[in-house]
Structure formats: C-alpha cells, structure tokens
Amino acid sequence: MQPFDKVQPIVLLVDKSEPAAHRDAVAAAAVASLRSYAATQDSQAWENWLYGRFTKTVRRANPSTFERLAAEAPSGPVSVGRAQAIAFEPVTYGEMPKKLAKLQVSGTQLPDEPPAPQPDTAPCVILNLDLEMSTGKAAAQAAHALLSWYLALPLPEQLAWEHAGWPAAVQFIPGARFTELAAGPGAGPLIVDAGMTEIAPDTATAFVARADAGSAAASTA
C-alpha cells in the first residue's frame, strides 16, 4: 500500500471488563462502514477509493475514547448485541487525524460467544472459518463484502434495507462449504484479500448471502 492510498478507518469498542461477542463486533463494523458511506457518499473522499483497493483499517478504542469519537463519526454508533462500531470517510494515512491514527490495530480479538439474534430477513455475511481471522481482520473483510453487496442492489432494495434498520448477520463456515455457497445463486460479490495482513494474497474471505442461504450455512457449520 502506498502512502497516498486512502483507507477507511473503522473503530471497534473494546471494553475489557465486558467484551462484546466476536461475530457481533464483525457485524457492527460492517454496518458502520456502510452507514458512513451512505451518510457522506457525495463527499470527494470516496472518489477513486470505491474503485480501488477498498482498504479499511480496524482499530480499537476503550469506552471513553469511543464515546468521544462516536460524536464525530458520520456512521453514528452502530450497536449489535454488546458490540459497537463507528466508521469514517476514507483518508490517506498521512492525513488521518491523530485521534484515529494513535488507536491500536492489535488487540481487537473478542470472544467467540453466541451472537445477538438478527431478523430472518437480514443479509448474512459469510466468512471463511478456515482462515482463523482476528476480529479486526474479519471485520474489515465483512465490511468489504457488505458494501460491495449494497452497491450492487437496486435503489429500492437499498432504501428498504436502510428503513429496516440495517440488520446484518455474520456466519463463519468451513472452507469447502464457503466455496460452495460463494458459487451458488444469490451470492454477493466475492471478496479476495490483497494479503497485506494475516492471510496470503488472493485468498477468498467473504461474501453476502441471501437470508435463507445464511440460515442454511449456520445449520451446517
């Protein structure tokens, strides 16, 4: 990644005394990324970024820092279960505000507890379980997938999902089943990672499935 490349900052609330569930945090980050875009899509910050690497950086903040940043985030705070996330417009690393740049990328791993229930109609972000991604890495991949899926929707479907409150579910499934579902009907764009952190380049990581496909994945995972 070059210094002039833009990256979208996403911030997860990491409360050490009451940590959120891993899958809830991944879902919250994905929705926050998308809500930031929906709120500011006319901004020049999104130019080129949408058609380039789509790079995101997921960082952690303690409760007091998160509360201060949430007041400025175009996404507003997104809550899924105990998880909370916020997201900002894309920016180069050199231009990133210090209050975001100083936040840590490491330490985002959260416990893999049962996630909060989501409506049966919620789109489901499917991630490759075999990759053993950290919460932060999985959150970035889920955000890639959800935004790609949203951009491919007809406007009436975008608006209907927004009016429903932006519900989104997350499932991690084994690689063979992941590949099968990714090639099936109704699967959203497949996200292939550039390999800058954690996993090898050109690795398929995530896509969005129809709600019924997500339920099927959950029953076989």
User: Does residue 107 lie in a domain region?
Assistant: no
Residues 93 and 138 in one domain: no
* Enclosing domain of residue 182: 124-220
Q: Indicate whether 198 and 133 sit together in one domain.
A: yes
Written as one letter, the residue type at 3 is: P
Angle, in degrees to the nearest 10, between helices 211-220 and 175-182 = 160
Its pTM stands at: 0.91
CATH number of the domain at 207, please: 3.40.1490.10
pLDDT tens readout for residues 97-128? 999 999 999 988 999 999 999 888 889 999 99
Full 3-state SS string of 108-177: CCCCCCCCCCCCCCCCEEEEEHHHCCCHHHHHHHHHHHHHHHHHHCCHHHHHHHHHCCCCCEEEEECHHH
Confidence bin at 17 (pLDDT 50/70/90): very high
- Please indicate, yes or no, if residue 113 is contained in any of the structural domains: no
> Do 156 and 77 share a structural domain?
no
CA–CA distance, 10 with 57 (Å, rounded to integer): 6
Would 119 be classed as within a structural domain? Answer: no
Q: Are residues 95 and 146 in the same domain?
A: no
Per residue in 29-88, pLDDT (tens digit) is 999 999 999 999 999 999 888 877 788 999 999 999 999 999 999 999 999 999 999 999
For position 89, which CATH number holds?
A: 3.40.1490
Task: Tell me the average pLDDT across 174-199.
Answer: 87
Evaluate whether residue 117 is within a structural domain: no
Q: 109 lies in a domain?
A: no
- As for how many domains the chain has, the answer is 2
Q: Is residue 210 in a domain?
A: yes
